[in-house]
A and B are shown apart, each in its own frame.
Chain A
């Protein structure tokens, strides 16, 4: 290579730099950072739901998929403009501290307990707390998120109800997202708690059975909030409001209700329009 080709190479790289900066600016004109849980992102719902929003408003939504705990931490630091999370206690604390405003109930589904089809601990059909107590007593492998996510916090609540302090070799904390945690439960032939949405998406790729479902303790509501611009002045408040408005609009709500994976409804809208309510009960 001659010096001339070196010059050519450098100028190509330099123009790539300029191009990146330009695209960044046009992207950043109207965009927001939306921190949400892996359980929602893994299902593909947001991809479907946010495309028409961006098309209409020109606001790009950058989805950062983490656990609920981390999503709220990002928002506390001002690194997210809006959140969609599922841990009522943590949400209320977030609002009380002044960080979150305009908390709205977007949708819900439920948590389910998965395990190997042969069910070594014999928990099929039991109430959730009792099922966990039996898993602990039998020393069967349990795979936990272990990441302060909404699912993890619910799991800890259920352990508390079961009167068990989960620890030991049978209790595996992955620190990973929901989809990967199911994958690990499958590999380890263990039990795990998951939201139904991620389970439906993962279903065909793992050999785990749905063992426990139903009941008040397993209800899983998702709430959206904007980050308070009075507390974190840098956040994009107006754009966040537009997004919340879209999520709660009759159109957004019916898109949530119509979203299917393998023909199965994953989420139930919490503010459905009167028409969609006629007949169907969520």
Chain B
């Protein structure tokens, strides 16, 4: 059954079957946008937390690390309650749209990216910031310099955030609703097709999921490796 599924899966992939590539497009769009939005908020926040020393900082970092394990269905539940038409943001009318999926996935990716950023900034050479400050740079400029110096690690943070949301199913199912040709993405598609006994389609989607996840991680790993050799 699995072998037959594999064979038909590759036929579908190669013939650009919209049943396969439609969900792939939704997955890529939603997860890329969510990762980007999360990064815009999480990287500056992570740099600030990583560089500063204040009371309660340990607690914040611990909370952040705990949030790495934030269950996707819990995020789905909370956002659902907010954006349902009978919820406080009901007027936005975005439940069961890609926008709703992006909101949920952004919340999922943020702690991931933030925690990775904090860790990398903490590990970085403190002399970078000090020398920037002594050269007359402002605190913001010095922080940017630290972030740029760690850009390979920040890319790893982005990849981790992307990997988290690209492969999750809870938020996509609860907030997207698995609507064919609109919010059906790779993971909800696999769950749905397997439920229908359509293993070939499930395998085809699963293959793309794996390949994209691998490609992203290889790209970041290669960059880190090259960066490591140059230093």
Binding site for B on A (CB under 8 A): 1, 3, 6, 10, 13-14, 16-17, 19-21, 24, 27-28, 33, 42, 47, 60, 62-65, 77-79, 176-177, 179-180, 183, 201-202, 205-206, 232, 234-235
Please state if B179 and A13 are interface contacts (CB–CB under 8 Å): no
Closest beta carbon of chain B to A46's beta carbon, Å = 9
Total B residues in contact with A, Cβ cutoff 8 Å: 33
Choose the segment among B49-57, B61-69, B96-104, B135-143 that binds chain A (4+ C-beta atoms closer than 8 Å).
Answer: B96-104
The list of the 8 closest CB pairs from A to B, nearest first, reads A78-B85, A180-B195, A205-B197, A77-B86, A13-B36, A62-B179, A64-B177, A17-B33
Q: A77-B85, A78-B85, A179-B195 are in contact. Are A24 and B36 (CB under 8 A)?
A: no
Q: A62-B177, A63-B180 are in contact. Are A6 and B98 (CB under 8 A)?
A: no
Give Cα A60–Cα B29 distance, bound, in whole angstroms.
Answer: 20
Please state if A17 and B195 are interface contacts (CB–CB under 8 Å): no
Interface residues in B162-197 (C-beta closer than 8 Å to A): 177-180, 182-183, 194-197
Kindly list 15 other residue pairs between chains A and B, CB separation below 8 angstroms, not including A14-B36, A63-B180.
A1-B155, A1-B223, A16-B29, A20-B98, A24-B98, A28-B97, A62-B183, A64-B178, A78-B84, A183-B197, A206-B197, A232-B85, A234-B85, A234-B91, A235-B85
Q: A13-B36, A20-B29, A177-B195 are in contact. Are A64 and B179 (CB under 8 A)?
A: yes
Please state if A79 and B98 are interface contacts (CB–CB under 8 Å): no
Q: Which A residues lie within 8 Å of B33 (CB)?
A: 13, 16-17, 20
Q: Which B residues lie within 8 Å of A177 (CB)?
A: 195
Q: Which B residues lie within 8 Å of A33 (CB)?
A: 96
Interface residue B8 (Cβ < 8 Å from any Cβ of A): no
Interface residue B18 (Cβ < 8 Å from any Cβ of A): no
Complex: chain A residue closest to B152, CB-CB: A1
